[in-house]
Chains A and B, each alone.
Chain A
Amino acid sequence: MALLELKNVSRHFEVKSGLIDRLIYGKPIRMIKAVQNVNLIVNEKEVLGIAGESGCGKSTTCMMISGLVKPSSGEIIYQGKRIDQFDSDEKRFYHSQVQMIFQDPYETLNPRFRVIDTVAEGPRALRLWPEDEIVSRVDDILNAVGLPPLKYAERYPHELSGGERQRVGIASALVMEPQMLIADEPLSMLDVSIRAGILVLLKKLALERNFSCIYVSHDLSILGHIADRLMIMYLGQAVEVGPTRDVIQNPKHPYTKALISAVPVPDPRSRRAVPNIIGDISRPIDPPPGCRFTPRCPYSDDTCSQTFLKLDMNQHDKHLTACHRQDALDS
């Protein structure tokens, strides 16, 4: 069942320009179309991976779901109800149900808070449980993320390593008993030997505690190991979605193909195909109406620059591509 749906969601940002430019020279207001008509469904108890390069709109999408940024158009629907129509109680509930883990474990912790204060802060602020229950729940969750409270509860962030800090971040998200966890590049600041531990922990907790997870990363090797389904974004558009294995082993969109062939493999014998792609990524300022990958796509034709094929919401469990030129690609 769908826990969260995004229907035709867009987010545009205005490019700051001078008053003189606008009034005297009559320059039009330019828009960065960070996210454009994205359709997305997160089912209950699944990990959805969102992959793409910088500027593809993956973080903006997360921020819209967590309510940090409002969409310019489109609907975000949680358990059947639009989140912008929530009353204040529902909003409180939603914010306890949808939790985020951030990229930088060094910046996200308050240096004056002990681990136990950080983790208990959310439930205390929303008065979810009586104080003694909060304390016992915090103890439970610290054990679950591998930070035994006897050893760690009284520590301050500077007494923790990067991996331990990220575990505190996970604990303070999960203590709220969320239905949905949004993890935005949670491993990119951590060392290789630590990363696997956090990844395995997240996967295990998602199974044990039955929450859904949106896992955002530019690293397809990591997504391949954690995500059940994978969505690929390019310059604000969702170009491909499907079961992770299908998308990685049998990519359909030319961009996904290029992206996957560019991922380095830890094997000295491996030889990769050269990605079939033209030029550099552009900025999503006033882009043309069609597929934004058109200028870089070796297969594109006239229809590509005019119309964009949206991913069909009704078949979201299937392997879908937003490419018109499937036939040309296959041959």
Chain B
Amino acid sequence: MSSKPILEVEKLNVRYQTQDGEINAVADVSFKVFSNEVFGIAGESGCGKSTLIKAIMRLLPENAKMDAHSIKYKDQEIDCMSEDIFRKEVLWTQISLVPQSAMNSLNPVYKVGEQIVEAIQAHTSQGKKEARERVEELFDVVGLQSEFMNSFPHEFSGGMRQRAMIAMALALDPGLIVMDEPTTGLDVLVQERILRRIREIRKQIRSSIILITHDIAVIAEMSDRIAVMYGGRIMEQAKSLDLFESPCHPYTLGLKNAFPSIKDLDQELISIPGSPPSLIGLQTGCPFEARCPFSSDRCKKDIPEVVVKEKFHEVSCFRHTDATELREHAKKLSTWHY
């Protein structure tokens, strides 16, 4: 991980207009992705992790409104670029996406190889032959045999389709690849193989990766740094080891308790009581307040500022100074369920 950020997001907000009112899907999110690192975003459904990515890549639906202090890609402001220039110069050439349910993202009536050739030709002046050679190269990188270039998506297994989508995302040597739940819905052995392949690809190319998933185990294994999102906000972000060894936010502590590990069969599983907040209307206070065993009146009224605990370790909680004490309390079942 070098010290130069490739992507800098500052105070990003996204709101959806719906019949039930305004949904504050992403609020005040700031983070950086450095070059050549895997940045993991963890969170449960509805926490805003996919919306966040859609906002950066300008893929939001029409009822969404976004604003941000700034979104910089390699020191270039990309949030105020015109739609045309963004499409031509950033989307796919600089930032590419492996979408959620990548398995269903291929066009069923075109050959898989052709679809990637098309993506390359749409963004570059390469001829068909050159583009096909590039696709052959990419198939090799993701571990697909080149004869599958002439197959249709239905002839592929789930894992192969996922690899084809990764090949497409790599096609133009982007600086940043966003992977939204890349292995959700795949079998364990296929998932393992895809993750191993992603790790190998990382050694070959210089791209950074943003990995979005709800699976704490996958994110722990893959990421250099992790941000934990809840209710549209980033609760805590840190280097992976720091996050797992000295978590500070009560939500992170709760998630750790709730996630079973095959390595520790004696671990007592403790769930977080309650359910995620509705994000409709104006938010006051910390989104985790209602489920937090350590909350006070202040948590109801004010939204805690982001505090930098140490380098790369940021937390948004009023009780961040009591972290050691909270960590001890959080291990007990009686703290969460009384």
Contacts and interface: CB of A to CB of B under 8 A. Distances in A.
B261 A265 contact: yes
Contacts of B241: 268-269
26 contacts: A191-B214, A193-B271, A193-B276, A194-B271, A196-B258, A196-B270, A196-B271, A197-B273, A200-B269, A221-B217, A222-B260, A224-B262, A225-B269, A248-B265, A249-B265, A259-B189, A264-B195, A265-B221, A266-B216, A266-B220, A266-B244, A266-B256, A266-B259, A266-B261, A268-B244, A281-B189
Interface string A266-279: 11111010110100
Q: Determine the main DSSP class of A at the interface with B.
A: helix
A104 interface: no
Interface string A193-211: 1111111100000000000
B327 to A, nearest CB: 16
Contact of B221 (A197, A198, A268): A268
A252 interface: no
A222 B259 CA distance: 9
Contacts of B223: 268
Contacts of A224: 260, 262, 265
A258 B189 contact: yes
Given A53-B188, A195-B271, A281-B157, 10 more contacts: A161-B275, A192-B44, A194-B275, A196-B270, A196-B271, A264-B195, A264-B215, A265-B220, A274-B196, A280-B157
Nearest to A262: B192
A318 interface: no
Interface residues of B, number: 43
A54 B196 CA distance: 21
Interface centre among B189, B214, B241 (most CB of A within 10 A): B189
Contacts of B157: 280-281
Interface string A37-59: 00000000000000001100000
Interface in A179-198: 191-198
A267 B271 contact: no
Contacts of A193: 44, 254-255, 258, 271-272, 276
A244 interface: yes
A98 B241 CA distance: 46
Given A191-B45, A224-B260, A262 B220 contact: no
A163 interface: yes
Nearest to B259: A266
Contacts of A163: 275
B262 A265 contact: yes
Contacts of A270: 220-221, 263
Contact of B260 (A54, A196, A245): A196
Given A225-B260, A265-B221, A266-B216, A196 B189 contact: no
Contacts of B101: none
A260 B262 contact: yes
A28 to B, nearest CB: 23
A218 interface: yes
Contacts of B295: none
Contacts of B215: 264
Interface in B46-81: none
B276 A191 contact: yes
B316 interface: no
B20 interface: no
A164 interface: yes
Contacts of A218: 187-188
A137 B214 CA distance: 37
A245 B273 CA distance: 29
Contacts of B153: none
Interface in B235-276: 240-241, 243-244, 254-263, 265, 267, 269-273, 275-276
Interface in B152-191: 157, 159, 187-191
